[in-house]
Structure 1
């Protein structure tokens, strides 16, 4: 599980915590681990990054990965997942690109996993539509090269 310095640190802190608490709960381990490897200033910076996170040019998969990574540092997302589920889907939904936001909001999804799934489906459908339009005969994308390609003139 843990290696190197982290394993050495854990052996020491484990003995100390077991003296006072017996079995060590996951939340206690996580709190001690974050104190050691993610100083308060780093955690606060990550939390601020989460609060300001927008999808922008990221794909839904990239946005979701970044969102989930930053949630690990957020005080809002600590404890029982049911307690912050609504906040999580509202924050994720609010950070979606406008085209995806406009497509998923009318669905009134109130579950984070389902929102991510539907956002991914909408993004995939949009990509398929663009690809189909580009490959359609007479498409302006197919004729694009005739306007920018050299016309056979010789330049000296």
Structure 2
């Protein structure tokens, strides 16, 4: 939203309304509760930080986890697949925290004929 505010001129007193239009689901319920508790209609540094910590960071984490678990080598070289696998693996912690788990998950994304060859190693 901050990025959007740099492109579109939004008066300070309208920012809460602008932001609340875009939040959905559980995040919207939290936002409405937090806003009802605020005496003035402005985004405070504390409420903004809590909101980001609770929802956007969690949302992004979840999206990266989904991308990781859906990752397949299809259409990529093994090198490209490994690069993307490594990039996304940092978001899934316990699933790839030891080499054995990491290798098993890596193999699961390979095509069956290639998986069987890699499994031998």
- TM normalised by structure 1 equals 0.38
- TM normalised by structure 2 equals 0.49
